[in-house]
Amino acid sequence: MKAAIWCAPYKVKVENVPDPKILNRRDAIVRLTSTCICGSDLHLVDGFVPFMKPGDILGHEPMGIVEEVGPDVDKNKLKVGDRVIVPFPIACGECFFCRRQLFSCCDNTNVKAYIPEQAFGQTLSGVFGYSHLTGGYAGGQAEFLRVPLADVNCQKMPGDLHDHQIVFLSDIYPTGYMAAWHCNIQSDDTVAVWGCGPVGQFTIRCAMLLGAGKVIAIDNGRTAGYRLKMAADAGAITIDNRAEDVYERLMDLSAGIGPDVCIDAVGLESHGHSPMETVYDKVETNLMLESDRPAVLRQAIECCRPGGTLSIPGVYGGFGNKIPLGALMNKGLTIKTGQTHVHRFVPELLDFVRKGRIDPSFVVTHRIPLSQAPYGYHIFREKKDDCVKVVLDPAA
């Protein structure tokens, strides 16, 4: 089959690789019909996650049709021919964490648990196509995907919705939802969202679904002006951080006290807010003195109102420097974060789509053949051709 392969930092190729096979009795093989490129994939391709090996298959936002099931897959839950989305975390459904619906913390599915145990103190779940830190599982930017514990990890979908209305249930739609849901949003709350990539776009819409009084979207108007426009189309007030002082604007928009909720939908590759800060983080990461560039986190802590909530869906990998812990502690901020517990949110969020409360297909700007994945990565990273979200078509 064809698959998008990580070769080296900044090098993705589409190659022919062996078809996946049933390895364990509860595996399924899914023939993929749509599979997406995520901002999290950029961290791998940009070399920020040091646990990739040449030949690893990328991708963790897939959907398709079940082609084959192992003998122990629960036939009442899943059978050949079912249409499914596959959440990016691989869960067992039975462990301490899964029983508490903390599926991305599942401690049964990461076959290389010793790596996160050393890096983070405990393991985290396996993830498709997301380095050997999360188990080294083959990813979904391919024609076929092997799904372990398939009756837990394949989520059945109805036949009457278009792929683009449901494929994002695998990741960015629940991620935007969890980022907002974590913050117990009230009707008079002002919510500020940093980053208008695909995750930011879903966060903005989900904050509105959850009843936020005012949503403010922040990004760079020079490189991502079209993304700010997509946020404005959803009803957000926008701030161009190249042209405006983010802190001053946020104070103006929140009666001088700062937003109640600040959401970092950017993560470890954020751009600094001054030339000094950008150079500082570049030098520190190049010298391996820090692994992450936490410019947005610093600014969000500074801007958030005392007693407010800071939510961090943006991915961090290791260590960041100059985090203003004094402000964080003295202002009494609450931090909520995590890889998304996707399985938990799928039924509720599918229902929102069915009821017409959100149509996730708004985010798709490009649908291209899987064979053009390197081009897809290029336009997504460089923000060419007004790219927000790339969906790859394995059958084209």
Ligand X SMILES: NC(=O)c1ccc[n+]([C@@H]2O[C@H](COP(=O)([O-])OP(=O)(O)OC[C@H]3O[C@@H](n4cnc5c(N)ncnc54)[C@H](O)[C@@H]3O)[C@@H](O)[C@H]2O)c1
Query: For binding to ligand X (CB under 6 A), which residues are involved?
Result: 38-40, 42-43, 171-172, 175, 194-200, 218-220, 223-224, 227, 241, 265-267, 270-271, 273, 295-296, 313-315, 339-340
Nearer to Zn ion, 167 or 191 (CB): 167
Instruction: Answer with the entry of ligand X, Zn ion, none that 353 interacts with (C-beta below 5 to 8 A by kind).
Output: none
Instruction: Answer with the entry of Zn ion, ligand X, none that 219 interacts with (C-beta below 5 to 8 A by kind).
Output: ligand X
Across the strands, what pairs with 239?
218
Nearest-approach distance from CB 80 to ligand X, in angstroms: 30
Q: What is the edge-to-edge ordering of all strands in the sheet holding 334-337?
A: 237-240, 214-219, 190-194, 261-264, 309-312, 334-337
Instruction: Answer with the entry of ligand X, Zn ion, none that 43 interacts with (C-beta below 5 to 8 A by kind).
Output: ligand X
Instruction: Answer with the entry of Zn ion, ligand X, none that 92 interacts with (C-beta below 5 to 8 A by kind).
Output: Zn ion
Applying CB under 5 A, the site for Zn ion has a residue count of 8
106, two tokens: 């599942």
Alpha helices in the chain (DSSP H): 39-45, 96-99, 114-120, 150-153, 163-166, 172-181, 198-209, 221-233, 246-252, 275-286, 295-303, 325-330, 342-354, 373-382
Instruction: Answer with the entry of ligand X, Zn ion, none that 265 interacts with (C-beta below 5 to 8 A by kind).
Output: ligand X
Nearest-approach distance from CB 22 to ligand X, in angstroms: 28
Q: x/- string (CB under 5 A) for Zn ion, residues 153-192?
A: ------------------x---------------------
Residues 6 or more apart whose Cβ sits within 8 Å of residue 61: 35, 36, 37, 38, 88, 140, 167, 168, 170, 171, 172
Contact between 111 and Zn ion per CB under 5 A: no
Nearer to ligand X, 69 or 196 (CB): 196
Instruction: Answer with the entry of Zn ion, ligand X, none that 108 interacts with (C-beta below 5 to 8 A by kind).
Output: Zn ion
What does the DSSP assignment read for 43-112?
Answer: HHHTT--TT--TTEEP---EEEEEEEE-TTS-TTT--TT-EEE--SEE--SSSHHHHTT-GGG-SSS-TT
- Near Zn ion by CB under 5 A: residue from 3, 84, 106, 261: 106
Nearer to ligand X, 169 or 296 (CB): 296
Question: Phi and psi at residue 106, in whole multiples of 5°?
Answer: -45, 130
User: Is 47 within 8 Å of 82 (Cβ atoms)?
Assistant: no
Nearest to 308 by CA among 158, 186, 146, 175: 186
Instruction: Answer with the entry of Zn ion, ligand X, none that 106 interacts with (C-beta below 5 to 8 A by kind).
Output: Zn ion
- Near Zn ion by CB under 5 A: residue from 108, 134, 238, 339: 108
- Near Zn ion by CB under 5 A: residue from 12, 28, 34, 40: 40
Which contiguous run of DSSP H or E holds residue 336?
Answer: strand 334-337
Nearest-approach distance from CB 380 to ligand X, in angstroms: 7
Q: Which residues bind to Zn ion, rule: CB under 5 A?
A: 38, 40, 92, 95, 98, 106, 108, 171
